[in-house]
A and B are shown apart, each in its own frame.
Chain A
Amino acid sequence: MTSIELATSVVLSKECGLAIINSKAPFSSTYGKDALDVALIFGSFEQKVSLFFQGDGVYQLIANQDGRLVSIKDYLKTFSAFEFYDIEDIYVCQQSLVNRQLDEAFHINDVQVLTSIEFGLALNRHQHILRF
């Protein structure tokens, strides 16, 4: 391990809290909505929570989708309210975007695009992980 990597991992390891991995596309199942509900509950009680988007989960960050077209509440709109729940750490897997030929353009701000290695490191900083 180089000194830079070492320094990074030391800093990173100080963080903790809950990581929520989103791995499913929106609207085809309730996984995305369930993950959002858990995130907002933790935020409401001032518990630190980070969101990770990986695999088909990255579709949840793509703009111009409306669940109402398939008679489902458009829960993606709620993502814009994350700041009021102190949810600031939002990570997306770059490789997952590349595999799906998606641009790094999202419907919310401050999404951090991470390489697979960075994604794994970021995930490792958390004490608990829930996967949806």
Chain B
Amino acid sequence: MAIVLTFEDNIVATDKQGYLLDHLVWQKELALVMANNDEFELTDAHWEVINFVRQFYLTYNTSPAIRALTKAMKVEFGEAKASSRYLYKLFPEGPAKQATKYAGLPKPARCI
């Protein structure tokens, strides 16, 4: 099934699973539209992870897989938020997968 992402009357190019083809067109409002299309609600806790994942990508040029994500988050947010349990609660379909999507990044190649 092809997914057509429309934002401010323009069609935004995505891959088959709805990930942006160009991460530079990302903005917060676009993430809200993507989440809305998936019937997924983004809370402040979600945004914390989304922003973190995006920053990770911009710094290291790669989307973090779950284990690297939790290790990196531990440095930033401390032990409580750096567990895969916490992240899976927020993103039941897989934190690395879902958070990168709303952060406008490519789907992690090495992905759980």
Which B residues lie within 8 Å of A78 (CB)?
60-62
Which A residues lie within 8 Å of B24 (CB)?
none
Which residue numbers of B lie inside 8 Å of A, CB to CB? 56, 59-62, 64-69, 71-72, 109-110, 112
- Assembly CA distance A50 to B87 (angstroms): 29
Main secondary structure of the interface of B (DSSP, over half): helix
| B61 with A73: CB separation less than 8 A | yes
- Assembly CA distance A83 to B56 (angstroms): 13
Q: State which of A15-23, A39-47, A113-121 sits at the interface with chain B.
A: A39-47
A107 to chain B, nearest CB (A): 12
Whether A64 is near chain B, meaning CB under 8 Å from some CB there, is no
Tell me whether A81 and B68 are in contact in the complex, defined as CB-CB below 8 angstroms, given that A40-B62, A73-B61 are known contacts: yes
Which A residues lie within 8 Å of B112 (CB)?
44
Which A residues lie within 8 Å of B72 (CB)?
81, 84
Q: Which of B56, B59, B67 contacts A46 (CB 8 A)?
A: B67
Hey, what's the 0/1 contact readout for A63-96 against B, CB within 8 Å counting as 1? Answer: 0000000000111011011011110000000000
Chain A: CB-nearest residue to B68:
A84
Whether A104 is near chain B, meaning CB under 8 Å from some CB there, is no
A78 to chain B, nearest CB (A): 5
